């Protein structure tokens, strides 16, 4: 079965004003929806970043894949690498650390790999999880992913979540999210306020949810010294502390004395970071993400390496829609050593999902693995057209949390570490 055509549709969907260490989310988040068509009439779906540089790389690669066998994933990877050549540039999106040329190839490859696995699954009538070795769990637990946030975007009405700018607001947000989704663990995105305030918010969450494992992720906003102070304050409270400080040596310095495991999606984001991270015992948990680790198969290679070196495995998320949620769920279901609940932004973006309702749902905080062939999800063409129109008119072509923050507070500066 051969690839005949690839359709790339950039889309924009509403995103609340979520605060992080580099600024605030803009009113629109971008993604690219990938449809791979074949000579046997089967179509596969993928979802990836929508930033213009990434979209241009996808557009450059797509024609090179015409005529390639849908099972030839190694060849597809080679075509991506050859098309991008050495001049890959930095395929940057959000807070995912340093981008290597190998990482850029993997980011571009991933979107096509997922679509091809969707096709392979449809061809044999089996879910993608079966192509990855078979599901070891029927449903994949996700965590409540809390953000400090404004009540609404400037000049807009407050959104349904309201403000969360202090411990009471954070607890109220957690309560709403857990009531609606049943999540069994909680992550707070930090790096927004001075560490003392974020420690207070974590303590308030602990009091309100005594049995929920808790995580805090300041996205490298702290020096190693501040990181250790926070780690000691939160001894016995956090299941892990995520990216407190920049870089592998900095994380290693903190890890030597921190009482809890350190996790990362910023200093170990490509295969070449694994050897130094292991040698320095810099991280005890890696957040995988198939969008930048090079798809589902390579994410399972990462899982095997983590297993070998006794590193825990969790999962990272950016703003995303249902195709990504389905792919994440198949991957997590087929990864035995994924020992932490996965992150997902899905509750923040649920109003605009591009897949037809009925397949993806949260039951007690977990998404049942779609049972249909392939990813098991179908595009809603009306929604796709609406989101594509949003993209045409929204004016955003590249995620820029810092630039958006500066429109509200011109004195805002990006600083890492900040405290």
Ligand X SMILES: O=C([O-])C(=O)C[C@H](O)[C@@H](O)C(=O)[O-]
Smallest CA-to-CA distance from 144 within 368, 369, 366, 361 is with: 366
* CB 206, min distance to ligand X, A: 20
* CB 44, min distance to Mg ion, A: 29
Query: Does 318 sit near ligand X (CB under 6 A)?
Result: yes
Total number of residues that touch Mg ion (CB under 5 A): 3
* CB 327, min distance to ligand X, A: 17
The shares of helix, strand and coil residues in the chain, as percent rounded to the nearest 5, are 40, 20, 40
Taking CB within 5 to 8 Å according to partner kind, which of Mg ion, ligand X, none is near residue 318? ligand X
- Is 291 a residue of the active site? no
- From 51-59, 155-163, 228-236, 316-324, span contacting ligand X (CB under 6 A): 316-324
**Pairing assessment for the beta strands 43-49 and 28-38 based on DSSP bridges:** antiparallel
Beta strands in 285-324 (DSSP E): 285-288, 312-315
**Pairing assessment for the beta strands 23-24 and 19-20 based on DSSP bridges:** antiparallel
Nearer to ligand X, 337 or 402 (CB): 402
Query: Does 418 sit near ligand X (CB under 6 A)?
Result: no
Q: Are 244 and 229 in contact (CB under 8 A)?
A: no
179 by DSSP, 3-state: which? Answer: helix
- From 93-101, 119-127, 305-313, 355-363, span contacting ligand X (CB under 6 A): 93-101
Query: Does 118 sit near Mg ion (CB under 5 A)?
Result: no
Which residues, 6 or more positions from 178, have their beta carbon under 8 angstroms from its beta carbon?
A: 144, 186, 209, 212, 365
Query: Does 264 sit near ligand X (CB under 6 A)?
Result: no
Nearer to Mg ion, 20 or 297 (CB): 20
Instruction: Tell me the DSSP string of 229-290.
Output: HHHHHTTTTEEEEE--SSSHHHHHHHHTT-SS-EEESSS--SGGGHHHHHHTT--SEEEE-H
From 187, 291, 316, 330, active-site residue? 316
Query: Does 265 sit near Mg ion (CB under 5 A)?
Result: yes
User: Applying CB under 6 A, which of residues 48, 143, 223, 265 lies at the interface with ligand X?
Assistant: 265
* CB 191, min distance to ligand X, A: 9
Nearer to Mg ion, 145 or 391 (CB): 145
Give the residue at shortest CB distance from ligand X: 95
Query: Does 244 sit near ligand X (CB under 6 A)?
Result: no
Query: Does 94 sit near ligand X (CB under 6 A)?
Result: yes
Do you find a cis peptide bond into 256, omega within 30 degrees of 0? Answer: no
Nearer to Mg ion, 311 or 377 (CB): 311
Query: Does 226 sit near ligand X (CB under 6 A)?
Result: no
Residues between 14 and 33 with contacts to ligand X, criterion CB under 6 A: 18, 20
Taking CB within 5 to 8 Å according to partner kind, which of ligand X, Mg ion, none is near residue 399? none
Smallest CA-to-CA distance from 139 within 189, 181, 106 is with: 181
Smallest CA-to-CA distance from 95 within 261, 250, 287 is with: 287
Residues between 345 and 374 with contacts to ligand X, criterion CB under 6 A: none
Smallest CA-to-CA distance from 266 within 251, 252, 279 is with: 251
- Is 93 a residue of the active site? no
* CA separation for the pair 341, 64 (Å, rounded): 37
* CA separation for the pair 210, 340 (Å, rounded): 18
* CA separation for the pair 297, 307 (Å, rounded): 15
Distances (CA, A) of 303 to 96, 311, 339: 18, 9, 11
Nearer to Mg ion, 239 or 242 (CB): 242
Taking CB within 5 to 8 Å according to partner kind, which of ligand X, Mg ion, none is near residue 324? none
User: Applying CB under 5 A, which of residues 217, 239, 352, 401 lies at the interface with Mg ion?
Assistant: 217
- From 82-90, 154-162, 213-221, 274-282, span contacting Mg ion (CB under 5 A): 213-221
Query: Does 217 sit near ligand X (CB under 6 A)?
Result: yes
Taking CB within 5 to 8 Å according to partner kind, which of Mg ion, ligand X, none is near residue 189? ligand X
Query: Does 242 sit near Mg ion (CB under 5 A)?
Result: yes
Beta strands in 144-254 (DSSP E): 144-147, 186-189, 214-217, 238-242
From 92, 122, 153, 189, active-site residue? 189
Question: Which residues lie near Mg ion (CB under 5 A)?
Answer: 217, 242, 265
Residues that bind ligand X (CB under 6 A): 18, 20, 94-96, 189, 217, 219, 265, 316, 318-319
Any idea which residues carry the catalytic annotation? 189, 316
């Amino acid at each position: 079965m051969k690839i005949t055509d690839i359709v790339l549709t950039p889309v924009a969907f509403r995103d609340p004003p979520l605060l992080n260490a580099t600024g605030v989310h803009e009113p629109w988040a971008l993604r690219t929806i990938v449809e791979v068509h074949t000579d046997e009439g089967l179509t596969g779906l993928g979802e990836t970043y929508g930033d213009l540089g990434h979209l241009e790389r996808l557009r450059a690669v797509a024609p090179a894949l015409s005529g390639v066998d849908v099972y030839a994933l190694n060849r597809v990877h080679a075509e991506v690498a050859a098309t991008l050549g050495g001049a890959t540039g930095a395929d940057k999106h959000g807070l995912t650390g340093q981008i290597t040329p190998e990482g850029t190839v993997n980011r571009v490859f991933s979107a096509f790999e997922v679509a091809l696995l969707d096709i392979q699954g449809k061809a044999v009538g089996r879910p993608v999880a079966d192509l990855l070795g078979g599901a070891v769990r029927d449903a994949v637990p996700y965590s409540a992913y809390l953000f400090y946030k404004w009540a609404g975007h400037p000049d807009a009405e407050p959104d349904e979540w309201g403000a969360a700018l202090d411990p009471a607001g954070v607890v109220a947000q957690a309560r709403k999210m857990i009531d609606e989704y049943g999540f069994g663990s909680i992550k707070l995105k930090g790096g927004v306020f001075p560490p003392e305030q974020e420690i207070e918010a974590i303590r308030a969450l602990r009091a309100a949810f005594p049995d929920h494992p808790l995580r805090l992720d300041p996205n490298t906003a702290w020096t190693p010294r501040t990181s250790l102070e926070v780690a000691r304050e939160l001894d016995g409270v956090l299941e892990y502390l995520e990216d407190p400080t920049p870089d592998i040596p900095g994380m290693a310095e903190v890890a030597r004395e921190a009482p809890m495991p350190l996790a990362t999606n910023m200093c170990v984001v490509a295969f070449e970071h694994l050897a130094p991270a292991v040698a320095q015992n810099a991280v005890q948990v890696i957040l995988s993400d198939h969008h930048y680790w090079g798809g589902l198969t390579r994410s399972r290679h990462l899982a095997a390496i983590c297993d070998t070196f006794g590193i825990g495995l969790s999962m990272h998320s950016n703003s995303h829609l249902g195709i990504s949620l389905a792919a994440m769920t198949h991957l997590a279901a087929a990864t035995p050593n994924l020992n932490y609940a996965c992150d997902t932004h899905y509750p923040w973006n649920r109003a605009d999902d591009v897949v037809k309702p009925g397949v993806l749902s949260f039951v007690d905080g977990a998404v049942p693995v779609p049972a249909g062939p392939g990813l098991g999800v179908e595009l809603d063409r009306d929604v796709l057209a609406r989101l594509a129109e949003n993209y045409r008119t929204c004016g955003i072509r590249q995620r820029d949390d810092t630039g958006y923050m500066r429109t509200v507070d011109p004195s805002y500066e990006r600083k890492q570490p900040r405290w």
